[in-house]
Amino acid sequence: MSISLSGRDLISINDVTKEEMLAIFREATSLEPYARSKSDVLKGKVMALLFFEPSTRTRLSFEAAMKRLGGDVIGFEEPSMTSIAKGESLIDTAKVIENYADIIVVRHPFEGAAKAIADAVQIPVINAGSGALSHPTQALVDLYTIWREKGRIDGLTILFFGDLKYSRAVRSLVRGLLNFNVSFIFVSPELLKLREEEREFLKSMSIPFIEKSSLTSDLAREADVVYVTRIQRERFTDPMEYERVKGSYRLSMEHLQHVKNDLIILHPLPRVNELDWEIDKTPYAKYFKQVFYGLLVRMALLKMMLT
């Protein structure tokens, strides 16, 4: 049975069932031949990119994905050059753009922005990152990377290392992983621990997890996947809080002394200095492969949402 996402929005990772995730993964794999060439499967379709926050990977991979599939791209990455600078509302802007495009991809600092746009327009909307809580396409990319690199997700131990308080990638990935049978280890400085509501959410689902404030090589030995995140400096409301945690953690070669041979290390990127550049040379480093898989997953999403 073929699975369609036609006409649907993607606002939260919870909008996608496990069966749909696996269909996205299969579609992404089947589209790999077009990642370096061109298809006309979305010929005549237009995607609007509305980016109210900086982005390299998400914006450019959506753009590349649409172009590789034969579609066109409009949009902006600098809202100050649009009529928003004259006082036009986000919703009015979206209701105008739906006349020009078949799908909207939006990144915004406010958590509810993508949902508000989806409620206001008739065309599909993809949340490309909103606030500190949600980044569903990154979660799909991360899940796909694990699925491709490990051949499965069930039965794995995932160790999250870094800013677990403000990272929307972590929050969305944890929710995506709840579709599978995995074990969680969370390692972060005290000030960047999982939010209390996140901890309570996992407990309410009877999901076991280990929480630690520093990473040891013994702890790293337990992991099948280490997922590293930078400190999300832009989310701090108190600059002094950022100063207190700046540079407080870093994954180094010493942590990898006793790890499993087939460990994979992921990072949504950008990296600042929380992941030693020496690790790039090891077979564990999969974060640039993850970038490539991001292109495939976004190609699959666009195809499945627009055909």
Binding residues for ligand CP (CB under 6 A): 55-58, 129, 138, 268-270
The nearest distance, CB 266 to ligand CP, in angstroms, is 11
Q: How far is the CB of 231 from ligand CP (least distance, A)?
A: 14
Q: Which is nearer to ligand CP, 93 or 138 (CB)?
A: 138
Q: How far apart are CA 53 and CA 77, in angstroms?
A: 8
Of 304, 307, 260, 302, the closest CA to residue 105 belongs to 302
162 versus 268: smaller Cβ distance to ligand CP: 268
Distance CA 106, CA 8 (A): 15
Nearer to ligand CP, 212 or 271 (CB): 271
- We find the least distance from the C-beta atom of residue 167 to ligand CP, in angstroms, to be 10
The nearest distance, CB 130 to ligand CP, in angstroms, is 11
Taking the least distance from each CB to ligand CP, the nearer of 170 and 259 is: 170
What's the 3-state SS for 162-197?
Answer: CCCCCCHHHHHHHHHHCCCCCEEEEECCHHHCCCHH
Beta bridge partners of 209: 184
Q: Per the structure block, which two tokens stand in for 12?
A: 């939260």
Choose between 45 and 230: whose C-beta lies nearer to ligand CP. Answer: 230
Alpha carbon distance 268, 229 (integer Å): 7
CA-CA distance, 256 to 264, in Å (whole number)? 11
Q: Tell me the closest approach of the beta carbon of residue 254 to ligand CP, in angstroms.
A: 26
Residue 73 contacts residue 67 (beta carbons within 8 Å): yes
